[in-house]
Structure 1
Amino acid sequence: MRVLLVSNTTTLSLSSPPSPKPLAPSRLGPNSIHWAKKALIGALGGALSLGLLVSSPASLAFESSSPSSIPAQPPPPSEYCKEDEGDVIAESAPEPVATNEGIVEEAWEIVNDSFLDTGRRSWLPENWQMKKEDIRTSSIKSRSKAHDMIKRMLASLGDPYTRFLSPDEFSKMARYDMSGIGINLREVPGDNGDVKVKVLGLLLDGPAHAAGVRQGDEILAVNGVDVKGKSAFEVSSLIQGPNETYVTIKVKHGNCGPIQSIDVQRQLVARTPVFYRLEPIENGTRSVGYLRLKEFNALARKDLVIAMKRLQDMGASFFILDLRDNRGGLVQAGIEIAKLFLNEGETVIYTVGKDPQYQQNIVADTAPLIKAPVIVLVNNNTASASEIVASALHDNCKGVLVGDRTFGKGLIQSVFELQDGSGVVVTVGKYVTPNHKDINGNGIEPDYPNFPGWGDITQRLSQCSTLPRG
């Protein structure tokens, strides 16, 4: 099972942190529940800083080798090395055949562990337990009937965003591969309190898999740059590059080695969502940089940074960030883009999950890329990750909002892959703005319905910065 963190409105278009598909019996037991919980901790507990991997409907690849890989010496025999419970790779054990009953029960376990009731309908755990008994006493004759049973089960939650994905629908998420080489990374706590970045998902026959990267590998370096202390999102950014170029990643297989340096050819699937231009204003005495962001995919942050720098070099004294009709995308991409405009330590967004340990205050950790005033264009189709960016700039007095009230999609979904390549989208949390406004169902009210004068924008941002926050 893999889990992908998502946020979007009416159609599934975004995802994030994965969890490995467990080598478990066809019917789920205690170990399977452990996997679902571990995956969710990675999704919400790691500041949402994970990449996305999507595979074909076929099963995930667990092992591969490459003649071009150069193995280093394994640790000396005297060094005690213990594999983590969740990272042991069974090289010889075949992947179990998924039963119809097992797939339905797997979906039940995921919802039981991670679903957040957002108030649309009261979710009673005792009623959900009764559904498990129905599964155990049922004989499900076909895969299509299993999928229908999952659909009915999820519909009973009353949450329009918690739903079933066919194998074909799940596989179409490939454009959100954050790395560009077909791997999904996740931050995993180490024995010494450190954080390791590991491969917990592989695109079957993708570039990394073909080159010899394995499920469970720890990433040690990218193009000679040590990644110790870096987040999974940062490591994914280091791996990214122009299509069909090569990146060298140093990996450690499992906890006990060996270590290999592997050359992988990038094969990006995502297309740039950024359009930009420079426009003269005030009779040509000043210029404004216009940035149109269509969605938050794997290339959004990198391409937006390039566009912002170019516009700044061309003399832009104001920026317009057009988020109209942008329904969302990768949550982490939205967060990282918001950070580009904020001062270090300023809050991007708060996340709230089913369990208190999932509550996060996500803050900017660097200086802003630009300090010029920003006008954010929004409408009623501005949703999800777009609302994260809009509210972050607005509440931190970095931008004014112009247009119509936003959609009001403040929920976070995770997409879990089931054993047959299908998936379930489950609401696992929600986010609130830096000023503690609940986005979901409310949206964000803009400052102006129509485009204001440039002087009005500067004055409003100046006044905003003197007001108490929250």
Structure 2
Amino acid sequence: MRAISLALTLPPPSQTAKNPILCKFNGSCINWAEKTVVGVLSGALSFGLLLSSPCSIALQSPLSPSLSPPPSSTSLSESCRDIEQEEKVETVPELVSNEGIVEEAWQIVNDSFLDTGRHRWSPETWLKKKEDILSSSIQTRSKAHQIIKRMLASLGDPYTRFLTPDEFSKMARYDMTGVGINLREVPDENGGVKLKVLGLILDGPAHSAGIRQGDEVLAVNGVDVQGKSAFEVSSLLQGPNETFVIIQVKHGNCGPVESLEIQRQLVARTPVFYRLEKQDNNSPSVGYMRLKEFNALARKDLVIAMKRLQDMGASYFVLDLRDNLGGLVQVGIEIAKLFLNEGDMITYTVGRDPQFQKAIVADIPPLVTAPVMVLVNDRTASASEIVASALHDNCRAVLVGERTYGKGLIQSVFELDDGSGVVVTVGKYVTPQHKDINGYGIVPDYQNLPAWSDVRQHLSYCPKLQHG
């Protein structure tokens, strides 16, 4: 089974303290938590979507052989042998039955779904639904997909839905690394964290090069990643399309260390447009930045835009989030950090899994300290609302335009074994001022563009949030 998760904050279409064991319909049992990347807000990249996409050539470099020989069989403990044997079994492709696909989707909801509205879900009713659905055989894959659609529709959540294989593959722009892996920060035995591969594209660049689920990432292009976040390491992995990156990994928990050369395969397109708008001779210049969505390239390209606009003499900034329907939650959080002071609250999250119940704060100095206008409208949604509310509530920006869409829910996208997928609501967020915007949106400070003198005055009288 391949179950891959991405945290999204998208409007409807026009993840591991507990380790439940999933027993599939055919009777074989596997650890659900290890096969699902539910990291929405746990590691800095919990949100890179890994999905099936065209294969690219990704070969192990003959110039970068294994850095250390595999340990002898006598040096491995029985537990290590057991773990590695399980990993080998998990990576063997298997045929999945129609009933197995339905039960796979059922189990995802059972483990992760957060009922935020109509309260139609309970463990008892959901178990009864599985028993009813699987009481008879399902003859075709099309019938299985129809059953999953009806099963998800019964939850009464417009954001929890089924994706066909074609719909699922179109989400490749959310692959954060460009090599088809998803990283998660996992506690180690010494109280620190290590970065593990907890999702990868089948036959994608990393998979073709020899990386497997459960591998630990040790270095990228010779840079030791110890102490770095998943988001930072994902940034190190990024680069121009069809260029190569060398990743040093430790296979499994007890396997050898190996360096693999992998060819990047980027699908995302830049969502950033920017320009410098010069006023009359006596007025300062304004750096205008439009962000269309929060995909894998959004933060990197926005940083480039901000630095270039500063170098060109921008004294004020406009961040245009109109018609931005959202995308990757973590990217929105990382973009908010570019404007906020260390310690400023970005958002609070809530979910059934403890990893969703936390306060997210800025942990780096801001890239820009100049006054900011954020342009919003009724199609500013999800991750856009996280950014807008974070900048607004921390007195870093004024909001201009229309009331926002009002979506405070977080979805994860899971790949099923036949290449289809399910989108499931797994959490919700509230603003730094503890406002639940779901269904209400954010009311802007101004409907029309104010003068920059008014912006400065508004921000100077803005009541500061108390942190700590």
Using structure 1 for the length normalisation, give the TM-score: 0.90
Aligned to 1:153: 151
Q: Structure 2: which amino acid aligns with 1:54?
A: L
Pair 64,255 (structure 1): closer, same or farther in 2 beyond 3 Å:
farther
2:124 to 123, 126, 130: 126
Contact 1:56 1:421 in 2 (8 A): no
Q: Structure 2: which amino acid aligns with 1:261?
A: S
Once the two structures are superposed, residues 168-190 of structure 1 have per-residue CA deviations (whole angstroms, 9 ceiling, x without a partner) of: 11111111111112222222222
Aligned to 1:7: 9
Contact 2:59 2:261 in 1 (8 A): no
What is the rounded CA distance, in whole Å, between the counterparts of 2:340 and 2:90 in structure 1? 50
Per the TM alignment, residue 81 of structure 1 is displaced from its structure 2 partner at its CA by 8.2
Aligned to 1:319: 317
Contact 1:382 1:407 in 2 (8 A): yes
Contact 1:411 1:431 in 2 (8 A): yes
Q: Are 2:240 and 1:242 equivalent residues in the alignment?
A: yes
Contact 2:21 2:29 in 1 (8 A): no
- After alignment, is 428-437 or 180-189 more displaced? 180-189
Aligned to 1:51: 48
Once the two structures are superposed, residues 364-420 of structure 1 have per-residue CA deviations (whole angstroms, 9 ceiling, x without a partner) of: 111000100110000000001100110010001110000000000110011111121
1:211 to 209, 218, 223: 209
Aligned to 2:162: 164
Pair 274,351 (structure 1): closer, same or farther in 2 beyond 3 Å:
same
Within a 5 Å distance, the mapping from 1:63-462 to structure 2 comes to 69-71=64-66, 72-75=68-71, 77-78=74-75, 80=77, 82-83=79-80, 88-90=86-88, 94-356=92-354, 358-462=356-460
Give the 3-state SS of the residue equivalent to 2:103 in structure 1.
helix
Q: Structure 2: which amino acid aligns with 1:73?
A: P
- After alignment, is 359-368 or 90-99 more displaced? 90-99
What is the rounded CA distance, in whole Å, between the counterparts of 1:440 and 1:305 in structure 2? 29
Aligned to 1:42: 39
Contact 1:116 1:353 in 2 (8 A): yes
Contact 1:37 1:113 in 2 (8 A): no
Once the two structures are superposed, residues 400-457 of structure 1 have per-residue CA deviations (whole angstroms, 9 ceiling, x without a partner) of: 0000000001100111111211111110110000010112111111000000011000
Using structure 2 for the length normalisation, give the TM-score: 0.90
Give the 3-state SS of the residue equivalent to 1:371 in structure 2.
coil
Pair 279,168 (structure 1): closer, same or farther in 2 beyond 3 Å:
same
What is the rounded CA distance, in whole Å, between the counterparts of 1:225 and 1:195 in structure 2? 17
Give the 3-state SS of the residue equivalent to 1:97 in structure 2.
coil
What is the rounded CA distance, in whole Å, between the counterparts of 1:345 and 1:275 in structure 2? 29
Pair 6,155 (structure 1): closer, same or farther in 2 beyond 3 Å:
same
Per the TM alignment, residue 344 of structure 1 is displaced from its structure 2 partner at its CA by 0.7
What is the rounded CA distance, in whole Å, between the counterparts of 2:377 and 2:84 in structure 1? 44
Count of equivalent residues: 458
What is the rounded CA distance, in whole Å, between the counterparts of 2:85 and 2:157 in structure 1? 33
- After alignment, is 459-468 or 341-350 more displaced? 459-468
Identity %, equivalent residues:
69
Give the 3-state SS of the residue equivalent to 1:215 in structure 2.
coil
Aligned residues: CA RMSD: 2.9
Pair 6,405 (structure 1): closer, same or farther in 2 beyond 3 Å:
same
Contact 1:249 1:262 in 2 (8 A): yes
